[in-house]
Structures are given as C-alpha cells and as structure tokens.
Amino acid sequence: MPFLVLQDGTVFEGEGFGAWPTDKGEQAGEVVFNTSMSGYQEIVTDLSYAGQILVMTHPQIGNYGWHDEENEADKVLLKGLIVRELSDGEGSLHANGTLEEFCQIHQIWGLKGVDTRALTRHIRKQGTIPGVLVRRKEDGLRYWESVKQGELDWRPQTHWVYQTTTAESYEIPGKGPYVAVLDCGAKRNILRSLQEYGFRIRVFPASTKAQEILQSRPQALVLSNGPGDPSELPEVVATVRELLPRLPILGICLGHQLLALAAGGETYKLPFGHRGGNHPVQDSRTLKATMTAQNHGYAVREASLASSGFDVILRNVHDGTVEGMEHKTYPVFSVQYHPESAPGPEENQKIFEDFFLKIGLIMD
C-alpha cells in the first residue's frame, strides 16, 4: 500500500487513488491541512496550493462529485491530496465526474483511508513539514536521507508564483472603469467578483514591471493571492513599491503580504498556516467580527509596520495575526483572507465594493 512519509520519519499508510504511476516514483511537497467542510473543488484548483500535499480534515470528501464550472484555475499544481474517506460522488445530478476522475486527469496523487485526524494533530504539534508520497515506506525514508545528504532538493528551483501566473497579459471586457490585476496565481472568483461590478479588467503576469502597468493607464490595481514565500519575490516587491504611491491598490492574501514588504515591513512563516472557511477576523475600528475563508502559510509581522505608513485594521481572533491594513496617505487597502469566498462564508464579498466606492470607481 502507498505511504506518506514525512521528513521527520513519521509514516502514514493509505490506499492510492488518482494518478499514481504503476512503477516506482515519488511526489514531494509541503504537507498542509484545510479545515473546510465543503468546497473541495475550489480548494484543489486554488493555485495557492501549488507544490503542496493537501490534507482535508473533514472525514468524507468527494460526496457531490466534480463540477467543472467551479474550478478556480485551468491548471492544477497541487502535489497530492490526502483524505480519510473518498466518496464516489454519485449523488449530484450536476456533476461532470468524480473527484477521483479529476485527479486522474490532472495527475494528482491521492491517498485515502489515512488517519487524517492523527496527521493533522502531528502537523499542529510539529509545524508544517514536507512529506513524500511513495509506494514503499523504505523509498520515502531513503528519499529524505538523500535530501539530508544534499543529493536531492524537494523544493522547486523557480518560485511557484512564476509557475502559476498567466504567461501573457489578457483582457476581460467590461463597460466600467479599467482595473489592472497582477496575477500571482489569482483565483477565478476574484476576477468574477470584479466582473460583477462591470469593470474592464486587464490581467498581467507577475513579472510585469511597474512602467508597463502604468502605461496601460489603469484606474486601480488588484494584487492577487498566490503561493509560496513572499520574501522570495524581491522583484515583485520592487514593482509593488513603485506602484504604491501611484495607484489605488487592493491587496488580497499574497498581495497583502507583498504590500507590507513593499512598505518596509516583514513577513514570517506561521507554524501551520491558516487554511479553511472558519477563521474569525475582527475589525479594530468597529469591533465587528466576521468569519473568513483563508489559505496562507505566511503572515505580516505587525511590529515591522511601525514606519510603513499602514495602520492595522483587521486581526485574526485566534492568534492576533494581521488580517488587514489601510494606508494612512494613499488609497491602498489589503486583506489577508479571501473575500471572494470560494469556498467559504460570503459575508466579506463587500470588501470589493467598499474599496472601489472609497476610490470613487463605483457611484451610489
């Protein structure tokens, strides 16, 4: 039977599904968990999971099949999917297929029958840890020994943002004002949320320089979500730094972190991240709390923002981490969570309207 072998030597056994090869092989990635009870389609196709092995904590996954229209991207860069019980998903009348069929088509290695509770508790105790999917546990142990000896590197040579971003810019028609989106692995529902307001949207690759974006004369800029460590993207941070005083900006998730770095702040890796649709966030101005959808492994260090020009206006109720910032001088605002709520609670979708009303792009 196949195994997940963590870098610390811990082994979890399961039954393979999806796109496992018939011969030897391994699939390595950072092992993370998501606490959402539904929305596995949007989660699996969220490019913020690029390079990761995802553990779903809900005991049954796949029960309503697979609906292609709910995909968040056309490509999938998830390394593996681990579940307790895999459902055939035969109960949905609207399904295009099953979760397992999707994994087979998109080369996702799956492992079912795993004690996901024990695995999640291990990650919470030890912190996020890399793992490797293998057919024999001995192969997994040898893999990590080779990594230790410097013979292998489980990490990619190219930052995952550059593997998720669009290859070239493209336009989404609309009759309203023109909004630019810097695509660092953008979810489709962020673009859909902008479309709902009728904006004309131009999506730019993450490597686009500030001058090229400014030459297109946008009326606002959205910095999207995306995978990986934001501090390893100095060239994108430099672009954001140049645009910060020149355009109204809305940063989402990774975009929020890039804004903080561009203003002189710092980011750091969370012990096991925030991933799920049940994270409470409180507004320090109104004391109102909302439930949010989140998917990130890094956070902004609040103490580093003292001279950044940003005020922290939103905090995570669980651990006090920074969930939202507003600039004191410029029309720039950001949130760490996912206001497009796909999947997750829908009470934060108003963030888009609030931002564009503030900068005068939506009239009452």
Cα 148 to chain centroid distance, Å, stands at 28
- 334-350: buried (b, 16+ CB within 10 Å) or exposed (e) per residue? bbbbbbbbbbbeeebbe
Joined tokens for residue 317 = 């109720």
Name 188's bridge partners. none
Angle at 156 between CA 153 and CA 38, to 5 degrees: 115
The rounded distance, in Å, linking the Cα atoms of 194 and 143 is 45
- The secondary element (H helix, E strand) that includes residue 190 is helix 188-195
Taking a C-beta distance cutoff of 8 angstroms, is the pair 134, 3 a contact? Answer: yes
Is 253 a catalytic site residue? yes
340 is catalytic: yes
DSSP state of 310: E
* Burial letters 208-236, b for 16+ CB under 10 A, else e: bebeebeeeebbbbbbbbbbbbbeebeeb
Which of 253, 256, 274, 323 is flagged as catalytic?
A: 253
If we measure between CA atoms, which residue out of 203, 200, 150, 144 comes closest to residue 177? Answer: 200
Query: What HEC string does 79-121 produce?
Result: CEEECCEECCCCCCCCCCECHHHHHHHCCCEEEECCCHHHHHH
Partnered with residue 82 across adjacent β-strands are 55, 111
**Active site (catalytic) residues:** 253, 338, 340
